């Protein structure tokens, strides 16, 4: 899963974001840190972009996650007794194509029903306080866009629910 936000507005931002998406599509099976490095190289000379990447591993019930720039990440556990119930996934400061920070991948344990939310900076950062764990991924995304959109920037929310191992 990926959320990409080209810096600024207009055609140059779109070009930068599309260049990153093209890299992700061509190399989708590569490790997350390598994907960020490949995107950084592809964006050199363009406006730049920020990005968060995540993958579920159903064989080990884990989430791998990494990010550069201001794309927020939240992992909400389905079990209300889980501590912490909501985990913030903090990206590294930087801009792909301009300034690449030291990269690392975070690993989080998952259980069926856990929900991952990735949001660009067009969504107010306090959105994590307004999550409805019983909602569908679409209703969560709709609610965040309706109630937390800044209105002066483009906004993107990706909501994915982990189903666990699907035998059969």
> Can you tell me the mean pLDDT for 24-45?
96
List the alpha helices (DSSP H) in the chain.
11-26, 32-43, 137-148
Higher pLDDT among residues 23 and 134, named by residue: 23
Q: What span, in angstroms and rounded, lies between the C-alpha atoms of 46 and 16? A: 6
In a domain, 151, yes or no: yes
In a domain, 168, yes or no: no
Predicted confidence (pLDDT) at residue 168 exceeds the cutoff of 70: no
Higher pLDDT among residues 162 and 164, named by residue: 162
Confidence of residue 95 (pLDDT cuts 50, 70, 90): very high
Confidence of residue 71 (pLDDT cuts 50, 70, 90): very high
In a domain, 127, yes or no: yes
Bridge partner list, 159: 117
CATH number assigned to the domain comprising residue 125: 3.60.40.10
**How many domains, in total, are found in the chain?**
1
Range of the domain at 119: 2-161
> Can you tell me the mean pLDDT for 116-132?
84
In a domain, 166, yes or no: no
In a domain, 145, yes or no: yes
Q: What is the pTM of this model?
A: 0.90
In a domain, 59, yes or no: yes
In a domain, 167, yes or no: no
Q: Would you call 33 helix, strand, or coil by DSSP?
A: helix
**DSSP letter at 129?**
G
Predicted confidence (pLDDT) at residue 121 exceeds the cutoff of 90: no
In a domain, 101, yes or no: yes
């Amino acid at each position: 899963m990926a959320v990409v936000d080209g810096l600024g507005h207009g055609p140059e931002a779109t070009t930068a974001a599309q260049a990153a998406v093209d890299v992700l599509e061509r190399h989708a099976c590569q490790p997350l840190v390598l994907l960020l490095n490949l995107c950084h190289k592809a964006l050199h000379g363009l406006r730049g972009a920020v990005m968060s990447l995540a993958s579920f591993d159903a064989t080990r019930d884990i989430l791998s996650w990494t990010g550069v720039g201001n794309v927020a990440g939240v992992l909400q556990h389905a079990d209300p007794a889980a501590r912490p119930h909501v985990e913030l996934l903090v990206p590294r400061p930087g801009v792909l194509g301009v300034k690449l920070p030291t990269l690392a991948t975070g690993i989080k344990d998952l259980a069926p029903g856990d929900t991952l939310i990735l949001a660009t900076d067009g969504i107010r950062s306090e959105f994590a306080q307004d999550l409805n764990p019983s909602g569908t991924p679409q209703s969560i995304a709709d609610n965040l866009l309706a109630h937390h959109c800044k209105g002066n920037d483009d906004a993107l929310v990706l909501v994915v629910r982990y189903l666990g191992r699907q035998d059969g």
